[in-house]
Structure 1
Amino acid sequence: MDITIHRPGELTEPLRRAWHRAMDESPEYANPFLAPEFAIGIGRHRAGARVAILREEGEPVGFFPYERDALGVGRAIGLGLSDCQALVHRPGVTWDAQELLRACRLSIFEFDHLVEEQRPFAEHVTGLFASPVIDVKPGDGGYPEWLRGSYPGLAKTTLKKERRLGRDVGEVRFVFDERDPRMLRTLMRWKSAQYRRTGRMDRFARPWIVDVVDHLFHVREEHFTGVLSVLYAGDRPVAAHFGPRSSAVLAAWFTAYDPELRYYSPGLMMHLRTAEAAGRNGVTLVDLGRGDKEYKDWLKTRELRVGEGFAARPHPVAAGYRLWRRPVRGLRNTVLAHPRLRDPADRLLKTVGTLRTSHRADSDGAASGRR
């Protein structure tokens, strides 16, 4: 096996076509987070982003995107943003994890959403986790008929709230592929407020993440398109979602809504509208991503499994990194897996978020007074 290393931006058109072919030939690699366009988007802002290309008899047959730091510590590309990770390869291709790490000059490789079928990494997986998905099919009628057929338990309540929203605010309409960049900014603003309100790290406070999302929004290719969907009441945006799609899979990524309209359950409306419209637009699978959320239990049709762990070579840097990272991941997973721990942790984070928001409001008020 011949392995060469490249920056994502150096991928030629023939190499991207070969990568797309590998995605098309194996359904487990159809996720848009595994597309070269995602790696290229991350590579524009992450200096350590690389792609290992595996060749057999000179033909590219496998693609491994990753990030590497100066010490040889590797991470799945976009770790923390990507909901699917793998070495994408054509059927029948075999490879060795240790040989791959040596070629990439990695002492250790960290992943948290690894495709379960990645056999060479299997011995390095420390945990497998559910990743809910929705199998979607185009409906014979409109949205109400699809909703009643797909989610009879939710249909009555959701349609009732949509009618009330229409009466109170304005006629409800949904745009699956909204091209107005102002709506993307609105989504980011809502999501930032949600992160702060719930005590989470505000991803959109990091300029490079804002730039990546903005870049992917403008990518429109057969195997990767940034899809912004918006639910409106009249001319007022109510909820929005942005996520990448491949030819067959839409990844649920960033969803947020106007908190002033939260009593209408706009987030749930958004997910349902997006799934129905995705089916009409050629998508067969909506990947909701790893994580225990009540709405995912309501919407999922089945679950995939993704792996978390560290693939490593014998190296002191690898040993030290694993000693540092593994307890942190273990504690987080323990909390998330047990409602008795998860619920108090959520309440604590929300309290922190409320205090943080109140402090910011007080500081802004004081600054306004000084001006």
Structure 2
Amino acid sequence: MDITIHRPGELSAALRRDWHRAMDESPEYANPFLAPEFAIGIGRYRAGAKVAVLREGGEPVGFLPYERDALGVGRAIGLGLSDCQALVHRPGVTWDAQDLLGACGLAIFEFDHLVEEQQPFAGYVTGRFSSPVIDVKPGDGGYPEWLRATYPGQAKTTLKKERRLGRDVGEVRFVFDERDPRMLRTLMRWKSAQYRRTGRMDRFARPWIVDLVDHLFHVQEEHFTGVLSVLYAGDRPVAAHFGPRSSTVLAAWFTAYDPELHYYSPGLMMHLRTAEAAARNGVTLVDLGRGDKEYKDWLKTRELSVGEGFAARPHPVAAAYRMWRRPVRGLRNTVLAHPRLREPADRLLKTVGTLRTSRRPVAGPVRDRAR
């Protein structure tokens, strides 16, 4: 096995075609977070972004996107943002994890959404977690008919709230692929406010994430597209979602809504409308991402399994990094896995968020940088 290392933006058109071919040949690698376009996007803003290309007989057969720092600490590319991670390869290809880490110059490689089929990394997985998905297919009629057939339990309540929203605010309409960049900025402002309100880390306070999302919004390729969907009441945006899609998979990434209209359940409306429209546009799977949320339990048709852990070589940097990161991850996973711990933690975060938002307005990077 020959392994060469490249910057994502330096991949030739032929290598990108080989990468897409590997995705097409294995359904488990069809997720847009595994596409070269996502790696290239990260590489525009993260200096340590790399791609290992595996070759057999001179032919490219595998691709591992990752990030590396000066000490040899590696992470799955976009760790903290990506909901799917893997070495994308053609069927039947095998590799040795230690040889791979050595070729990449990595003492350790951290992942938290590794697809289940990555057997060479299996011995390094410290925990497995469910990742809900929706198997979607086009309906015979319009949205109401699809909703009643697919989610009969939610259909009556959701359609009733949509009718009330139409009467109170304006006619409800949905745009699956909205190309107005102003709506993307609106979504990021809403999401930024939500992060602060709930005490979470505000991703959109980081300029590089704002720039990454803006870049991916403008990517319109055959195998990868940034999809912005918006629910309107009249001319007023009510809710929005942005996520990448491949040929067959749409990743649910950033969803937010106008908090003034929360009593209409616009977030749930957004997810349902997006799933139905995605099916009509060729998507067969909507990936909701790892995490326990009530709406995911309502919407999912099944669950995938993703792993987190650390693939490491015998090295002092690897030992030190693992000693630092594993307790943090263990504490977080313990809290998330137990409702009796998770609910008080959520309440504490919301209290912090209330104090934070009462002291300062929403920050400006989203308005200034997303163009």
Per the shorter chain, which TM-score range? over 0.9
One-letter amino acid of the counterpart of residue 155, structure 1: A
Alignment partner, residue 293 of structure 2:
293
Output the CA distance in 2 between the equivalents of 1:220 and 1:199: 34
What is the CA deviation profile of residues 328-370 of structure 1, one whole-angstrom value per residue up to 9, with x for unaligned ones?
00000000000000000000000000001111159xxxxxxxx
1:207-356 to structure 2, matched below 5 A, reads 207-356=207-356
Paired letter, 1:54: L
How far apart, in 2, do the equivalents of 1:121 and 1:200 lie?
Answer: 31
Report what 2:368 is aligned to: none
How many Å separate the matches in 2 of 1:325 and 1:349?
Answer: 22
Partner residue in 1 for 2:169: 169
The letter of the residue matching 1:171 is E
Amino acid at match of 1:335: V
Q: 3-state DSSP class of the match of 2:147?
A: helix
State the SS of the aligned residue for 1:222: coil
Structure 2 counterpart SS, 1:291:
coil
Structure 1 segments of 4+ aligned residues over 2 angstroms from their partners: none
Amino acid aligned to 1:249: V
Alpha-carbon separation, structure 2, partners of 1:219 and 1:191:
21
Aligned to 1:107: 107
The aligned amino acid for 2:297 is: D
The Cα shift of 1:222 comes to 1.2
Other-structure match for 2:367:
none
Q: Letter of the aligned partner of 2:223 in structure 1?
A: H
CA distance in 2, matches of 1:23, 1:337: 32
**Aligned residue type for 2:344:** P
- Offset from partner CA, 1:182-229 (integer Å, 9 cap, x none): 000000000000000000000000000000000000001111000000
Structure 2 CA distance for aligned equivalents of residues 360 and 302 of structure 1: 41
Other-structure match for 2:77 = 77
Amino acid at match of 1:313: R
**1:8 matches 2:8:** yes
Q: Which residue of 2 aligns with 1:90?
A: 90
TM-score normalized by the length of structure 1: 0.97
In the alignment, the residues of structure 2 paired with residue 345 and residue 129 of structure 1 have an alpha-carbon distance, to the nearest angstrom, of 20
Q: Deviations over 1:139-192 (max 9, x none)?
A: 000000000000000000000000000000000000000000000000000000
Task: Give, in whole Å, the separation in 2 of the partners of 1:311 and 1:220.
Answer: 34
Q: Quick one: distance in 2 between partners of 1:98 and 1:222?
A: 35
Q: Which residue of 2 aligns with 1:365?
A: none
Per-residue deviation, 1:70: 0.2
**Residue 30 (structure 2) aligns with:** 30
CA RMSD, 1 decimal: 1.0
Q: Spell out the pairing of 1:43-192 with structure 2 (5 A cutoff).
A: 43-192=43-192
Counterpart in 1 of 2:365?
none
Tell me the secondary structure at the aligned position of residue 247 of structure 2: coil
Distance 1:361 1:226 in 2: 29
Q: Secondary structure at the match of 2:262?
A: helix
Give 1:38 deviation, angstroms.
0.1
1:366 corresponding residue in structure 2: none
| Residue aligned with 1:194, SS | helix
CA distance in 2, matches of 1:63, 1:361: 43
Return the alpha-carbon distance in structure 1 between the equivalents of residues 149 and 135 of structure 2: 13
Distance 1:341 1:304 in 2: 25
Q: TM-score, with normalisation over the residues of structure 2?
A: 0.97
1:19 and 2:19 matched? yes
Distance 2:220 2:320 in 1: 42
Specify the code of the residue in structure 2 equivalent to 1:211.
Answer: D
AA in 1 matched with 2:12: T
Deviation at residue 68 of structure 1 after TM alignment:
0.2
Q: How many angstroms apart in 2 are the aligned matches of 1:329 and 1:155?
A: 38
* SS at structure 2 position matched to 1:44: helix
Read off the aligned partner of 2:247 and give its amino acid letter. Answer: S
